[in-house]
Amino acid sequence: MSELSVRVGGLALRNPFLLASGIWGESGVSLAGAWAAGAGGVITKSIGSGPRPGYPNPTVETYGSWGLLNAMGLPNPGIHEYPQEIRVALAAGATVIGSIFGGDAVEFAELARAMAATGVAALELNLSCPHAEGFGTEVGSDPADVEAIVRAVVREVKLPVIAKITPNAADPAGLAEAAERGGAAAVSAINTLRAIAIDTTLRRPVLAHGLGGLSGPAIKPVGLACVWQIFERVRIPILGVGGISTPEDALEYILAGARAVEVGTAVTFAGIGVFGQLVSGLGHRLDELGYRRVEDAVGVAHETRRAGDR
């Protein structure tokens, strides 16, 4: 059986499947449940400086089994109240990655210090939520901002820092390069794609916020392209995110350059049991292909293509 444990920039994972931020992360018992279901690690909801209710409903729209549009609006109880949930997940033995969002480098650094104190194994910086005024993509679309925020956080904490990159920019790989310059241990790509739905009978946007972010199988090729381009331009490891619901999807991301992957919408569509299926399915596929370790397959599609080009 292939070795599924991976190291991602100093972060040790028992397998490469992480629960993506924003899914199930409000309650520590839920995070522990995702760990018990087989996730290699769990990423918290993105946590800010204070309690934030998020947007009013409707906050979601579904498209069959291929897509999910959401604008939750970064709801979270704030960094002072949230640690009680992290403690529950840590007590269950989970590898927990703390996701944080701030409006500038100073706020990110303060949040990073507080989040690191909870005992999480790594931090993920939300530089990519596509629908929150003053946060996410708004502070994560300019390489200079990304570099400054990452540098400020890295200076503040000893933990591995993962920068989550937006696809809603002209050059996502350039943002990953900026994160690498700032000292990030890894980048995750992608967050949701900015999107909107209109109800034709009511003649208004479905989501209360209007704009939202699209996730699910529909965005897999887009996420893969970002990972592909980032792999060619940075040396730090990549966490692939976007539309992963089968072992084959994960293998595609790994061959494109991802060392681990994040799973979100598939939990919504298929239930938490999807982690068990992904872990065993990927092990089986790697065996078939003759890879002893996940890490042996990372980015292989780039080499195959170059070999073919010669």
**Residues ≥6 apart with Cβ < 8 Å to 225:** none
Q: Smallest distance from the beta carbon of 146 to another protein, in angstroms?
A: 27
Choice between 56 and 134, CB closer to another protein: 56
When computed from its CA atoms, the radius of gyration of the chain, rounded to whole angstroms, is: 18
Q: Which residues of 240-253 are buried (b: 16+ CB within 10 A; e: fewer)?
A: bbbbbbbbebbbbb
Residue 167's nearest CA partner among 187, 196, 150, 186 is 187
Report the interface residues with another protein, using CB under 8 A: 22-27, 29-30, 33, 45, 51-54, 56-62, 68, 70, 72, 75-78, 81-82, 84, 199, 201-202, 204, 206, 208, 264-265, 267-268, 271
CB of 207 to another protein, least distance (A): 10
Q: Smallest distance from the beta carbon of 102 to another protein, in angstroms?
A: 17
Q: Which of 68, 129, 139, 226 is catalytic?
A: 129
Residue 65 or 280 having the CB closest to another protein: 65
Q: Based on the residue annotation, tell me whether 226 is a catalytic residue of this protein.
A: no
Decide: 228 and 167 in contact? Cβ < 8 Å.
no
The candidate with the shortest Cα–Cα distance to 127, out of 236, 8, 21, is 21
Pairwise CA distance, residues 177 & 154, whole Å: 15
Q: Which is nearer to another protein, 75 or 281 (CB)?
A: 75
Q: Give the amino acid at 203.
A: R
| Min separation Cβ 76 and another protein, Å | 6
The DSSP letter of residue 88 is H
| Residue 137: strand, helix, or coil | helix
CA distance 187 to 161: 8
CA distance 193 to 212: 8
Q: Do the beta carbons of residue 161 and residue 151 sit within 8 Å?
A: no
Smaller CB separation from another protein, 29 or 106: 29
Least distance between another protein and beta carbon 16 (Å): 22
Cα 160 from Cα 185, distance rounded (Å): 5
> 70 vs 141, which CB is nearer to another protein?
70
DSSP single-letter state for residue 142:
S
Q: Catalogue the active-site residues.
A: 129
